[in-house]
Amino acid sequence: MGNPHAVVIVDDLAHAGDLRTPPAVTPANAYPHGVTVTFAAIRSARHLHLRVHERGVGETRACGTGACAAVAALLHVGGRGGAGDGRYTADVPGGRLHIAVAADGAMALTGPAAIVAQGTVNLTPAGAPRPWRKATCAAGS
């Protein structure tokens, strides 16, 4: 996925807790720079419900890499070694994601996107007389 993920398969997403703080991962040195932890409840062979504590952020309404990591874990648990062929569904608090998995294990993610917050930030180097760069950003789910 490009960043470290741990997937925990649970019967009920309530087992994830409040996810305001990073879930404990053992051994403690397994992820020295932190890890995104995805809690996955398997609803069927191709359908998951997820909650995600994103590394450095906390619980997020949606996490594409977390959804893909959860599908990879589902395939691994199913004995397919992370390679599958077909479409999978992942329900997250922010909506429904669709993950297409090729026979070689490559994944393509689709799903809704919505702006949930926006703002403007002025980035000024220390001691600079005026803002040198202005950035506008929007956060989605």
State whether residue 125 is helix, strand or coil.
coil
Whether 128 is in a domain gets the answer no
**CATH number (domain holding residue 103):** 3.10.310.10
Range of the domain at 38: 5-112
State whether residue 101 is helix, strand or coil.
strand
Whether 20 is in a domain gets the answer yes
Whether 38 is in a domain gets the answer yes
Separation of alpha carbons 112 and 52, rounded Å: 17
DSSP class per residue in 40-64: EEEEETTEEEEEEEETTTEEES--H
pLDDT per residue of the chain (141 residues) written in tens, 0 to 9: 888 999 999 999 998 988 888 898 889 899 999 999 999 999 988 999 999 999 989 999 999 999 999 999 998 887 665 566 799 999 999 999 999 999 888 999 999 888 878 888 777 666 666 555 555 555 555
The CA distances from residue 70 to 36, 106, 124, 126, 127, in Å, are: 11, 14, 40, 42, 46
Whether 106 is in a domain gets the answer yes
CB-based contact 109:91 (threshold 8 Å): no
CB-based contact 72:82 (threshold 8 Å): yes
What's the pTM?
A: 0.79
Domain count, the chain: 1
